[in-house]
Chains A and B, each alone.
Chain A
Amino acid sequence: MSRAATADAVYDESGGKNYINAEKGVVSWLTTVDHKRIGLMYLVSTLTMFMIAGIFALILRIELMKAGEDFLTPAMYNQAFTLHGAMMVFLFIIPAIPGGLGNFILPIMIGAKDVAFPKLNLLSLYLYWTGSIFTASSIVSTGLDTGWTFYVPYSTTVSQTSVIAVTFGAFILGFSSILTGLNFIVTIHKLRAPGVTWYRLPLMLWAIYATSIVQILATPVLAITLLLLILERAFQVGIFDPKLGGDPVLYQHFFWFYSHPAVYIMILPGMGIISDIIAVHSHRRIFGYKAIAFSSVAIALVGFLVWGHHMFTSGQSELASTIFSFITFFVAVPSGVKVFNWTSTMWGGSIAWSTPMLYAMSFLFLFTIGGLTGLPLAMVGLDLHLHDTYFVVAHFHYVMMGGAVIAFIGGLHHWWPKMTGRMYHETPAKIACALIFVGFNMTFFTQFFLGTRGMPRRYHTYLDQFQPLHAFSTFGSWVLGAGLFLVLFTFIHSLLKGERAPKNPWGGKSLEWETSSPPPTENFHRTPVVTHGPYDFATTGK
């Protein structure tokens, strides 16, 4: 039977009704409590933010192509890098995977009709929109030039920009994140279909679960910190500013107490996606299921104890720096374990060279570099040189973009047929993946050299000796940008002209592949009963 014929058969079985065409009109979307529709709205919103923040990045790279002032003044440059960072972190990477893909796929993967608190879920989305409006409003008002970190006393005394609007936006976004985390934890505990034991959860869900723990425990600290910052800036309540009797290093402790765990909010769901993609596209039982599952939880917990490694040069005590350095190396262990397990999963598999799998292999390549380049930053002595240079910029882009964003794009391709009911054209999708891989490495590998040679970050202009590397990095950003726009084009083309997707295009074994593409509003016509694991592929026996 051809793929299209299968798809049509499924389509008919559900009476032509699915979650997309179940109700019509904008109001039906704005008032929906369906997790799939909410997930889709998250996806569209976060991807829009990704595009705006990405355009800021391209602008920054063009300014940096040559030393000196080209077309941005230092003030404009500072605003562009601040908004690039703040929007990427708070409006894209943190909400995109849990809010977008997680919302869509989590209840289906456990055989539930919806999340535990569907209305709360909609509230999360509204909070996300409200926070986004506050944050993005700075673009049309006075901008923001504090860096996404809002370090004091710069943000409370020097900056003339809309610090209060943006920090208040981030404060609201925090609630969106907390409520989503809470919702997911309860859903995974209470709404699993019969037979879905903890060890039959797809690894994506272990990752989301670990992420949710971090979201509900760490985000309140950020909320309080930002509130204190607003109090200081608006009413001169002395908390961080030494002139008012405060302590600026205290702010850094508070900030990184959230923002280091936030790194795991960003990367853990990506790791979950990669576990699923590699197993499904290799048609193979995942290697080390429990090791991967518990390493997610370990990363989430140890991740709370390492924030001080952002502050080795800040003036914190030598003892604190030493202890934070020591603990930081323990985060590397579970990350390494995951990488080894993913590679081993490919051994003896049946590896499809599909777009999601190519993204997964890109992820392994880039995330390994991202992880390994974290090590010298954890070695206190080496960090004294590398801290706040382009080495750090390259390192976290390898983790955040090469890791989380590449996994996210891979996951989008992986679940795209399920979400939209359409296939995409493999050829442009693979070309886009290749362009992104090449462009990304051109842009950011170059920056490791810039950093070790002494180029500090957040510089509008630089010493002439750094010029050739900066120019090369800028050329890379164009290749990367072209790749990302090709992804957008592929998806739009798929929505308009794509072939109808079958229920299970990749031969997956987890529950989402047992319902139609796109699924009906209630996900399954009758509650599924699960008798096998999520990666129970046909084996050669023994």
Chain B
Amino acid sequence: MSQGATTKTPTATTAQPAGTAAPQEAQYTIQPDEGYWLPRQNGAYSEQFDWAWSFYIWVCVIFFVIVIGPMTYFAFKYKRKSETEKTSPIDHHLQLEIVWTAIPTALLMYMFWVGFKLYADTQIAPNDAMTVQVTGAMYNWKFQYPDGTVTQELELPKDRPVKLVLSSVDTIHSFFVPEFRLKADVVPNLYTTMWFHPTKETDTAVQCAEYCGNGHSTMYSRVLVMPSGDAGAEGTFENWLANGGEKSSLSPLALGTKKYGQLCKSCHTLDGSKSVGPSFKGLFGKTESLADGSTVTVDENYIKESIVNPGAKIVQGYQNQMPSMAYLKDKDIEGIITFIKEQK
């Protein structure tokens, strides 16, 4: 697959976000909070995290004052008045030294405990968690749901635990959602996991947090948390999933346009110019000469075959570079066919 990443600012080039009640913006955002430090929290883990963070900040402030307060005071109080001044002979004080070793040690042990407790809670997912398979690649994310639906953004039901099983197809990435306060490296040849329990509807960003090359800083995706409910009701997660990861109201052409943007755009132009693959302009109905000398007329069956088994009939002058997209649903393929027909 070609490297889809570009040098543009991370505006949402990949998708028209599917529906939640909130109005959608083109830009990814990490929802802020009233405090100075952390973004908005989402889920039980974030609350625990934020408590541990406040605890830490207070420890930090107290120790900072204990060190820098006296330092500043001494700097003024004992500022040198003459070169021959004599100074204090006291060069050790056992009790004091025991106190300032023992108290910090005890406090540090407690800090370890707080950090460990928090960590333990992030590592064991409940049994009823929905498992989503996450695949990181240079430079995009792919999400596969238990029913086989594959999407480019992560949509989740509110108030239901979710477990992610992450892996990479190339180099190391890291899956980072600030709102959930979680991050896990995405490593080739290794499955890492993470779980969370979103309690708020949200539209927030996934960022790659492990340096992975030129597209690292544009390797975003979106996390949308939507209400959970009946598959028949519009706007619910179940409805979205039943429609193959789409809003049900999307026309085949709109669906095809979206899929083009997500999957085809980096290699197939719309203006007739040659790229990694043939342009879609005027493609439908055209007769193409193939690499093996035969010819084929571009119709519905040829397009479908090229999506599912791209190596079968390579057009002359091109390389066999396209990955199979056999995971696409018939509905998606029909959408893409409709879209290609429109490119006259």
A interface vs B, CB < 8 Å?
67-69, 73-75, 78, 145, 147, 151, 153-154, 157-159, 242-243, 247-249, 282-291, 313-315, 318, 321-322, 325-326, 329-330, 332-333, 336-337, 339-340, 343-344, 346-353, 361, 364-365, 368-369, 372-373, 375-376, 378-385, 387-389, 449, 452-454, 456-465, 507, 535, 537-542
Q: Nearest B residue to A278 by beta-carbon distance?
A: B71
B60 touches A388 (CB 8 A): no
Among candidates B29, B83, B87, B122, residue contacting A285 with C-beta atoms closer than 8 Å: B87
Query: Given A313-B174, A343-B67, A463-B10 in contact, is the A283-B116 Cβ separation under 8 Å?
Result: no
Q: How far is the CA of A429 from the CA of B326 in the complex (A)?
A: 68
Query: Which of the segments B128-136, B179-187, B265-273 contacts the partner chain?
Result: B179-187
Decide if B319 is an interface residue (CB 8 Å cutoff).
no
How far apart are A378's CB and chain B's nearest CB, in angstroms? Answer: 7
Known: A343-B71, A361-B71, A463-B28. A284 touches B119 (CB 8 A): no
A281: shortest Cβ distance to chain B, in Å? Answer: 9
CB distance from B222 to the nearest CB of A (A): 12
Given A74-B215, A361-B75, A388-B210, are A158 and B86 also a contact pair (CB < 8 Å)?
A: no
Identify B56's interface contact among A78, A340, A375, CB under 8 A.
A375
In the assembled complex, the Cα of A1 lies from the Cα of B37 at a distance in Å of 58
Name 11 A/B residue pairs within 8 A (Cβ), A-sorted: A287-B92, A314-B185, A333-B105, A348-B88, A351-B80, A382-B49, A388-B209, A389-B209, A461-B7, A463-B27, A463-B30
**Docked-complex contact B88 and A379, CB < 8 angstroms:** no
Residues on B with C-beta less than 8 A from A242 are: 188-190
- Chain A CB within 8 A of B249 CB: no
- Answer yes or no: B85 CB below 8 A from chain A CBs: yes
Cβ-defined contact, B115 with A349, below 8 A: no
Whether A351 pairs with B171 at a CB distance below 8 angstroms is no
Residue of A nearest to B118 (CB): A381
Cβ 8 A contact of A372, one of B39, B60, B81, B209? B60
Min distance, Cβ A421 to any Cβ of chain B, angstroms = 22
Counting CB contacts under 8 A, is B9 at the interface?
yes
Are the CB atoms of A387 and B209 closer together than 8 Å? yes
- When distances are taken between beta carbons in the complex, the residues of chain A under 8 Å from B233 are none
Q: Max chain A CB contacts within 10 Å: which of B8, B30, B48, B80?
A: B80
Q: Are B174 and A388 in contact (CB under 8 A)?
A: yes
The prevalent SS among residues of B at the interface is mixed
User: Do the beta carbons of A351 and B75 come within 8 Å of each other?
Assistant: yes
Candidates B85, B211, B214; contact of A147 at CB < 8 Å? B211
B187 and A315 form a contact (CB under 8 A): yes
- From B28, B32, B115, B190, give the contact of A249 (CB < 8 A): B190
**B208 interface residue per 8 A CB criterion:** yes
Residues of A with C-beta under 8 A to B123? 318
A342 to chain B: closest residue by CB:
B71
CB of B181 within 8 A of CB of A385, answer yes
Q: Does A158 lie within 8 Å of B170, measured CB to CB?
A: yes
B133 → chain A closest CB, angstroms? 16
**Structural contact, A364 and B67, CB atoms closer than 8 A:** yes
Q: Are A337 and B184 in contact (CB under 8 A)?
A: no
Residues from 63 to 95 in B contacting A, C-beta threshold 8 Å: 63-64, 67-68, 70-71, 74-75, 78-81, 83-93
Q: Which residue of B lies closest to A75 (CB)?
A: B214
When distances are taken between beta carbons in the complex, the residues of chain B under 8 Å from A541 are 86, 89
Chain B neighbourhood of A539, CB < 8 A: 86-89
A41 and B229 alpha carbons, distance in the complex (Å): 73
Chain A residues positioned under 8 Å from B30 (CB to CB): 453-454, 463, 465
Chain A residues closer than 8 Å to B85, beta-carbon distance: 283, 350
Given contacts A249-B187, A350-B78, A385-B183, are A542 and B89 in contact (CB under 8 A)? yes
| Residues in B neighbouring A159, C-beta threshold 8 A | 213
Q: How far is the CB of B171 from chain A (nearest CB, A)?
A: 4
Q: Is the CB of A336 within 8 A of B104?
A: yes
Q: Which B residues contact A (CB, under 8 angstroms)? A: 7-10, 27-30, 32, 36-39, 48-49, 52-53, 56, 59-60, 63-64, 67-68, 70-71, 74-75, 78-81, 83-93, 96-97, 100-101, 104-105, 108-109, 111-112, 114-123, 138, 170-172, 174, 176, 178-179, 181-185, 187-190, 192, 205, 207-218
**A336–B39 touching, CB < 8 Å:** no
Quick one: closest B residue to A351, CB to CB? Answer: B78
Q: Are A540 and B89 in contact (CB under 8 A)?
A: yes
Check if A285 sits within 8 Å of B91, measured CB to CB: yes
Residues of B near A381 (CB, < 8 A) are: 48-49, 52, 114-119, 121-122
Residue of B115, B120, B208 with most partner-chain A CB within 10 A: B115
Task: Report the Cα distance A123→B49, complex, angstroms.
Answer: 52
**Nearest Cβ in chain A — how far from B80, in angstroms?**
5
User: Could you say which residues of chain B place their CB within 8 Å of the CB of A347?
Assistant: 70, 74, 78, 88
Contacts of A380 on B, CB cut-off 8 Å?
A: 115-116, 118-119
Nearest CB of chain A from residue B175's CB, rounded to whole Å: 9
Residue of B nearest to A245 (CB): B189
- The answer on a CB contact under 8 Å between A286 and B91 is yes
CA distance A330 to B178 in the complex (A): 29
The chain A residue sitting closest to B74, CB to CB, is A346
Closest to A286 in B: B91
Q: Are B115 and A461 in contact (CB under 8 A)?
A: no
Having A452-B53, A463-B27, one finds 6 other A-B pairs with CB under 8 Å, namely: A287-B93, A350-B78, A381-B49, A381-B117, A389-B176, A540-B86
**Across-interface contacts of A464 in B (CB, < 8 A):** 9, 27
Bound complex: CA A378 to CA B108 (Å): 10
Tell which of B10, B79, B183, B190 touches A388, judged by Cβ atoms closer than 8 Å: B183
| Chain B residues, Cβ within 8 Å of A459 | 216-217
| Contact (Cβ within 8 A) A384 B211 | no
- Asked if A385 and B111 sit within 8 Å, CB to CB, the answer is no
Question: Which 3 interchain pairs have the tightest Cβ spacing?
Answer: A381-B118, A379-B115, A348-B88
Question: Within 8 Å CB of B121, what residues of A?
Answer: 381
- Say whether A385 contacts B49, CB under 8 Å: yes
A369 to chain B: closest residue by CB: B64
Question: Given A461-B10, A538-B86, are A372 and B63 neighbors across the interface (CB < 8 Å)?
Answer: yes
- The residue of chain B having its C-beta at the shortest distance from the C-beta of A453 within the complex is B39
CA distance A454 to B83 in the complex (A): 52
Note all chain B residues with C-beta closer than 8 A to A535. Answer: 91
CB of A393 to closest CB in B, whole Å? 12
CB of A414 to closest CB in B, whole Å: 16
CA distance A322 to B123 in the complex (A): 12
Most buried by B among A378, A384, A461: A384
Residue of B nearest to A365 (CB): B68
Which residues of B are found within 8 Å of A321, using beta-carbon distances?
A: 119
Taking a contact as CB atoms under 8 Å apart, the answer to whether B80 and A158 are in contact is no
A350 touches B87 (CB 8 A): yes
B37 touches A329 (CB 8 A): no
Least CB distance from B140 to A in Å reads: 15
Q: Do A337 and B101 have beta carbons less than 8 Å apart?
A: yes
> Can you name the residue of chain A whose Cβ is closest to the Cβ of B170?
A158
